[in-house]
């Protein structure tokens, strides 16, 4: 028996040919795509305006591989973490982050991660595989629906800051954003989307060549190689000089302001000297710096949260250099949903 193909991964040209072979009218392809993306149906049989004979043919040859909800956890601060099961049994986590001004979906791009950053729980997982673009899209659609159900508010922002490195799953990341932003899908503005990378220089340049419209954030965490080497192994092959060149190239192609993510650790990267190094690096292009408080992970006492007064002094120094700075208070810590905590805790098979 032939293995069913995922109909959502079939390009429209091929879908047109398949439907022609089935004897269906040309307009049926648009109806099917509408069911798949706008309505995000889970089963082909749910396409209610199509003839049963056609649905039977489609169902015999194709499936949707739609993600399924395994568990939901709600934080005291109303953040919701979802463990989602993929068609092959693998698990990823997505997070709904509500604030008074916005509802953000934090989505994953890989099952696990290969970068082994020492402060990140996801980095302790083995990378199993990349997510397909429809699996990424499903996460966004699910969080959108959850926000409307739980908080009666629309999804306003999307961050690719969950499990995995998006730029090591480049095509699926960009294809998922295509459907999220197109009228065929959710029709969201790309300015509402931020893709976060640990720093893959050649792929940052490729984003520039592709002239992407979404925002790009670099997980920096140290602005001197000797320190970044200690916490982010990726820095050995993508050092700060390589990243600086890539960022300047990216900016020359897109004119997009860079975002820098900087987790601040006690007595490691929270001094005035560290702030000066960060300011020196950040000045290469227009940017915004997000200082993030450290969220502890299991079996690790390597890092501690920096004191409030040191964080404030760090912020004040950067602002004295005319940089735009925001101190981000992490949400969902009590359910391991905050930055760096996603690790399928208690769900590993």
CA distance 84 to 90: 8
- The strand pair at 103-106 and 157-160 is best described as parallel
- Give the tokens for residue 155: 């999804």
Same-domain check for residues 33 and 116: no
Q: 149 and 202 share a domain? A: yes
Q: Are residues 203 and 230 in the same domain?
A: yes
The torsion angles phi and psi of 81, rounded to 5 degrees, stand at -110, 130
- Residue 254's CB is within 10 A of a number of other CB atoms, namely 19
Answer whether residue 273 is part of any domain: yes
Q: Are residues 253 and 153 in the same domain?
A: yes
Region 107-120 average pLDDT: 89
What is the C-alpha to C-alpha distance for residues 246 and 209, in angstroms, rounded to an integer? 11
Enclosing H/E stretch for 138? helix 133-151
What whole-number distance in Å separates Cα of residue 143 and Cα of residue 158? 10
Site of tokens 């300047």: 248
Specify whether 31 is located in the same domain as 170: no
- Would the pLDDT of 1 be above 80? no
Do 43 and 118 lie in a common domain? no
Task: Kindly state the tokens that stand for 63.
Answer: 């499936």
Q: Examine the domain organization and report whether 248 and 324 are in the same domain.
A: yes
pLDDT > 90 fraction of the chain, expressed in percent and rounded:
83
Whether 110 is in a domain gets the answer yes
Last residue of a domain, one of 14, 30, 63: 63
At 40-98, the pLDDT tens digits run: 999 999 999 999 999 999 999 999 999 999 999 999 999 999 999 999 999 999 999 99
Q: What is the pLDDT of residues 248-292, one digit of tens each?
A: 999 999 999 999 999 999 999 999 999 999 999 999 999 999 999
Could you tell me if 77 and 58 lie in one domain?
A: no
Determine the Cα–Cα distance for residues 7 and 62; give it in Å rounded to an integer: 6
DSSP letters, 23-45, are: T--TTHHHHHHIIIIIS--SSGG
Whether 226 has a pLDDT exceeding 80, the answer reads yes
CA–CA distance, 20 with 14 (Å, rounded to integer) = 10
Residues 44 and 112 in one domain: no
Q: Check which CATH number belongs to the domain holding 89 and give it.
A: 3.20.20.70
Domain membership flag for residue 341: no
Q: d(Cα 69, Cα 96) in Å, to the nearest integer?
A: 14
Q: Are 119 and 194 found together in one domain?
A: yes
Q: Tens digits of per-residue pLDDT, 135-191? A: 999 999 999 999 999 999 999 999 999 999 999 999 999 999 999 999 999 999 999
| Average pLDDT score over residue span 230-249 | 97
Strand partners, 196: 217
The CATH number assigned to the domain holding 21 equals 1.10.150.530
Domains in the chain, number: 2
What are the start-end ranges of the E strands in 99-189? 103-106, 110-111, 129-130, 157-160
Q: How confident is the model at residue 299 (pLDDT cuts 50, 70, 90)?
A: low
**Cα 160–100–220 angle (5° rounding)?**
35
The answer as to whether 340 is a domain residue is no
Q: What is the pLDDT of residue 344?
A: 52
The predicted model scores a pTM of 0.92
Identify whether residues 324 and 268 lie together within a single domain.
yes
pLDDT of residue 342: 52
103 in a domain, yes or no? Answer: yes
Q: What is the mean pLDDT of the chain?
A: 92
pLDDT beyond 70 at 204? yes
- In this prediction, residue 295 carries a pLDDT of 79
Maximum alpha-carbon separation in the chain: 70
In the chain, the DSSP E strands lie at: 5-6, 62-63, 68-74, 80-85, 91-98, 103-106, 110-111, 129-130, 157-160, 193-197, 215-219, 258-264, 287-293, 324-328
pLDDT of residue 20: 95
149 and 45 together in one domain:
no
Last residue within a domain, chosen from 17, 48, 63? 63
Which pLDDT does position 345 carry in this prediction?
52
pLDDT single digits (tens) 69-84: 999 999 999 999 999 9
Residue 276 lies in a domain: yes
Active centre residues (catalytic): 93, 339
pLDDT for 348: 44
What's the pLDDT score for residue 225?
98
Q: How confident is the model at residue 3 (pLDDT cuts 50, 70, 90)?
A: confident
Return the minimum-mean-pLDDT range out of 72-81, 218-227, 309-318. Answer: 72-81
Q: Taking 70 as the threshold, does the pLDDT of residue 349 lie above it?
A: no
Alpha-carbon gap, residue 105 to 97, rounded angstroms: 6
Q: Measured between alpha carbons, how far is 28 from 30 in angstroms, rounded to an integer?
A: 5
Q: Is residue 124 part of a domain?
A: yes
Containing structural domain, residue 266: 68-335
Q: Is the per-residue pLDDT at 308 higher than 70?
A: yes
Residue-level pLDDT at 125: 80
């Amino acid at each position: 028996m032939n293995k069913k193909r995922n109909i959502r991964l079939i390009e429209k040209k091929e879908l047109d040919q398949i439907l022609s072979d089935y004897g269906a009218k040309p307009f049926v392809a648009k109806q099917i795509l509408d069911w798949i993306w706008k309505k995000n149906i889970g089963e082909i049989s749910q396409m209610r305006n199509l003839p049963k004979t056609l649905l039977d043919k489609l169902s015999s040859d194709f499936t949707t591989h739609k993600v399924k909800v395994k568990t939901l956890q709600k934080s005291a601060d109303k953040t919701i973490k979802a463990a989602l099961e993929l068609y092959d049994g693998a698990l990823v986590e997505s997070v709904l982050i509500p604030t008074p001004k916005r509802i953000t979906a934090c989505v994953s791009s890989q099952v696990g991660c290969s970068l082994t950053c020492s402060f990140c729980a996801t980095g302790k997982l083995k990378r199993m595989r990349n997510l397909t673009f429809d699996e990424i899209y499903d996460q966004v659609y699910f969080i959108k629906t959850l926000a409307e159900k739980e908080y009666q508010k629309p999804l306003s922002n999307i961050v690719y800051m969950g499990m995995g490195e998006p730029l090591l799953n480049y095509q699926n990341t960009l294809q998922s954003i295509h459907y999220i932003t197109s009228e065929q899908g959710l029709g969201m503005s790309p300015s509402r989307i931020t893709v976060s990378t640990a720093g893959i220089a050649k792929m940052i340049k490729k984003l520039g060549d592709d002239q992407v419209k979404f925002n790009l954030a670099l997980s920096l965490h140290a602005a001197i190689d000797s320190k970044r080497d200690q916490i982010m192994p990726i820095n050995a092959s993508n050092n700060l000089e390589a990243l600086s060149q890539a960022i300047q190239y990216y900016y020359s192609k897109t004119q997009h302001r860079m975002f820098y993510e900087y987790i601040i650790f006690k007595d490691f990267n929270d001094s005035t000297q560290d702030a000066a190094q960060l300011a020196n690096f950040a000045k290469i292009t227009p940017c915004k710096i997000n200082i993030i408080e450290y969220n502890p992970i299991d079996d690790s006492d390597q890092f501690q949260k920096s004191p409030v007064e040191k964080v404030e002094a760090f912020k004040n120094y950067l602002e004295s250099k005319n940089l735009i700075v925001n101190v981000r208070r992490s949400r969902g810590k009590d359910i391991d949903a905050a930055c760096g905590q996603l690790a399928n805790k208690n769900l590993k098979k």
